[in-house]
Amino acid sequence: MKAYTKLPCLKAGRLVLLLFGFFANTMIIAQEEPSDTVKYQTDEIVITGTRIEQKIIDIPYPVTRINQTSWITSRKVGVQDVLLTVPGLFLQPRYGNHDTRITIRGYGSRSNTGIRGVRILLDGIPESEPDGQTRIEAIDFDAIGRIEVVRGYSSSLYANAPGGVINFLTDKFFPISFIQLNNEFGSYDLRKNGFKMGINAKNSRFMTSYSYQNYHGYRQHSQEYQHRLNSLFEADFTPQSRLSVYGYYINGIIKLPGSLTLEQYNENDTVANPQSLSRDEKRISQKGRVGVTLLSSIEKGDMKHTLEATTYGTIKIFERTDVTYRLFTRYGIGGTFRYVNKYAFGKKSNKRINEFTIGTDLFYQDGPIREFPNFNGQKGDDLESLSNEVISNIGAYALNQIEIVPSKLSLLVSGRYDRVVFDFQNEIASFRDTSRVFAEFTPKAALNFKLMPHIALYTSFGYGFDSPAGNEVDNYVFSSDGGLHTINPDLKPQKSTSFEAGIKGELAGIDNKYFKNTFFELSFYNTKIEDVIIPFVIQNKVFFRNAALSKRTGIEAGLSSEIFKGLTLKSSFAYQDFKYDEYLAGTIDAQGNFSNKDFSGSYEPSNPKNFATAELQYQHTFLKKYTAYIKSTIQHVGEMFVDDANTDSLKTEPYTLINAQVGLDMNFNKFRLIVYGGLNNITDKKYVAYVNINDADGRFYESGPLRNFFGGLTLAYMFR
């Protein structure tokens, strides 16, 4: 097996010092500019996904916000089209367009379907189910106004969020009423059509959008059809009191081509797995959700009280075909409550701010699961099993941030208690009934020190807790009870500790002409995880087990800058050293033979040693109403192991993808027309976009699309 070349700690330390020296030198240049002539973005960007509203520069961990303007003229089929340049965020789109694996610092890489380890919110309401499992079919980027990405330990704020939080926020910040038609097309019969309407009254706002997406896919048996309806109504009772009502409905089908062996991938990477094809593997989803949020603040003197209460309900009807034909009906109800007390104390000339937050999260979900025979994708008549799955999550958290030195040094302390309950009842064979409880308290402490008003150092230390998801607790014949009960009695939650240190900030630029609005970030983290939850696959069915101990060390860097007027650069880089320190695993081969193997010292599969992105865009406005732009992106991903054994002959090859696009934005008083088009994977590179981890039959590989094009046209009318 080819050995990895490990980056020595000394070399990594020199890299950090070198980058810090570069930023420090630029800071000296920046200080030559008069401060009152410089506009700092960090003064304006406020993040809500951290449970308290703060500016990016005041948050003691890495946070990124992306606005709608950055993707309105881009391909918007999947999350990978929008979040590609976020530092430290690794995206593996399954089948090229859906079921994307989202990974932050290795969290999420264990999921062979859906998203795990990263909390997904839509308008602050969990899209993640109470066990942490998430699919994001409901996210329509025509309806989203901005996205917040919080990287690093968030277990002290949200359930099952050791990797971080992504908060998708519905578009509501439009200054005038409008109606808009959206159209997108491209290779592999991509068609996406819809409309969006926004009404902005004096003290209220309403937005609704609908889209229909038809995508044949570049692989055999990978079609997707989706209807999405999103709506928002918001009313301001007073300047500090607001009612928000959110709702969505989705209805669609996704065909699943499955993963391939190395031989199949090399011969023809676009074919479907024969087993997936014979079963007509697919997901049919209908899902609706309604949420209501009431926010009210009272401010008097140096003290401000804020109360926020949210309640929501979901209904999901879900059909899945694999070995059997399964029908899920799930009903969910939940709520969150948050109280914030912010006050200033001390002498008038030296006041300090203290902000205290306490809150609760409640989510309950149940519903029947029925299994029938699967005859080439058609449901048989005989009921094979009937069960009811109840999953609930009760969480309570508190955090306090205090300025130790006014406007200079602050301390954040937070903690959360979670109790996740699984109660599975088999309505046919009651002896299989099982219930399990996973509970833990996770604290965190962080410091934020401002070297300058717009540049800060931060560090944090905390504990993490990640319970198994409902589909991860499935029992199998080699467990300690021989597969008797529904829930695997051996699977434990994974627990972790993490240390992080970093620097971030904004620079004024040179002569107020070059490298303006330069935002940089650099972070180092070290994490130890006990009882890591690992997937393995038998006959195309995924089960999970625990590894003993894993250690993760990494560096993340990001840079965005306006090099000169009209030319902007966004770039990111991540270095990851993720290894199993201790790991003795029970392993089942393709013939069903069981054995124990020692994987201690192996690298975690599906995590590249390094990956990087860069985006360069030039735009020019002429005649005051026409803006033309050209943009190019480059993505590099290092090689990845596909199994815990680190079989050298099976690991994926590194790849580099180059994309380009052009567009024209035209404003005609009340009308706005946007026309754009692009070419992805210009070099026609064949590559593995997704790794199906630890498949006993060697089906590890799912390819990404070769060279493909896209185009779009948006027409809007503004009611000025």
Residue 232 belongs to some domain of the structure = yes
| CA distance linking residue 336 with residue 49, whole number of Å | 13
* Confidence grade of residue 72 (pLDDT, cut at 50, 70, 90): confident
Helix, coil or strand: residue 43: helix
For 307-338, what is each residue's pLDDT tens digit?
999 999 999 999 999 899 999 999 999 999 99
* Confidence grade of residue 37 (pLDDT, cut at 50, 70, 90): very low
Helix, coil or strand: residue 74: coil
| CA distance linking residue 709 with residue 184, whole number of Å | 11
| CB-CB contact of 95 with 223 (8 Å) | no
Q: Which residues on adjacent β-strands are paired with residue 48? A: none
Which CATH number do you get for residue 477? 2.40.170.20
pLDDT above 90 as % of the chain: 68
For 222-247, what is each residue's pLDDT tens digit?
999 999 999 999 999 999 999 999 99
- For the four alpha carbons of 97, 312, 465 and 55, in that order, the dihedral sign comes to positive
For 649-669, what is each residue's pLDDT tens digit?
999 999 999 999 999 999 998
Helix, coil or strand: residue 69: helix
Interacting residues of 311 by C-beta distance below 8 A, sequence separation 6+: 291, 292, 333, 334, 335
Residue 633 belongs to some domain of the structure = yes
- Nearest CA among 120, 123, 147, 149 for reference residue 132: 120
How many other C-beta atoms lie within 10 A of the C-beta of residue 431? 7
**Residue 678: exposed, middle, or buried by beta-carbon count in 10 A (0-12, 13-18, 19+)?**
buried
The amino acid at 347 = K
For 600-636, what is each residue's pLDDT tens digit?
999 999 999 999 999 999 999 998 899 999 999 999 9
Residue 330 belongs to some domain of the structure = yes
Q: What is the 3-state secondary structure (H, E, C) of 193-241?
A: EEEEEEEECCCEEEEEEEEEEEECCCCCCCCEEEEEEEEEEEEEEECCE
Residue 2 belongs to some domain of the structure = no
How many other C-beta atoms lie within 10 A of the C-beta of residue 13? 11
**pLDDT averaged over every residue in the chain:** 88
- For the four alpha carbons of 574, 577, 583 and 586, in that order, the dihedral sign comes to positive
Residue 351 belongs to some domain of the structure = yes
The pLDDT of residue 6: 39
**Residue 437: exposed, middle, or buried by beta-carbon count in 10 A (0-12, 13-18, 19+)?**
exposed
| CB-CB contact of 155 with 161 (8 Å) | yes
Q: Which residues on adjacent β-strands are paired with residue 183? A: 193, 713
The b/e string for 121-145 (b: 16+ C-beta within 10 A; e otherwise) is bbbbbbbbbbbbbbbbbbbbbbbbb
For 669-690, what is each residue's pLDDT tens digit?
899 999 999 999 999 999 999 9
- Nearest CA among 495, 568, 448 for reference residue 63: 448
- Domain with 231, as residue range(s), is 9-718
For 106-128, what is each residue's pLDDT tens digit?
998 877 777 888 999 999 999 98
More confident residue, 137 or 270: 270
Residue 4 belongs to some domain of the structure = no
- Nearest CA among 93, 174, 183, 108 for reference residue 142: 183
With tokens 């992080």, the residue in question is 500
Helix, coil or strand: residue 649: helix
Domain total of the chain: 1
Q: Which residues on adjacent β-strands are paired with residue 352? A: 345
| CA distance linking residue 526 with residue 556, whole number of Å | 12
| CA distance linking residue 290 with residue 260, whole number of Å | 39
pLDDT at 33 > cutoff 70: no
| CA distance linking residue 441 with residue 3, whole number of Å | 39
CA angle 703, 707, 713 (to 5 degrees): 115
Helix, coil or strand: residue 265: helix
- Nearest CA among 418, 432, 495 for reference residue 462: 495
| CB-CB contact of 490 with 479 (8 Å) | yes
Residue 534 belongs to some domain of the structure = yes
| CB-CB contact of 711 with 699 (8 Å) | no
| CA distance linking residue 127 with residue 116, whole number of Å | 12
For 357-388, what is each residue's pLDDT tens digit?
999 999 999 999 999 999 999 999 999 999 99
| CA distance linking residue 254 with residue 320, whole number of Å | 10
Residue 3 belongs to some domain of the structure = no
CA angle 195, 94, 712 (to 5 degrees): 30
Pairing outcome for strands 164-170 and 118-122: parallel
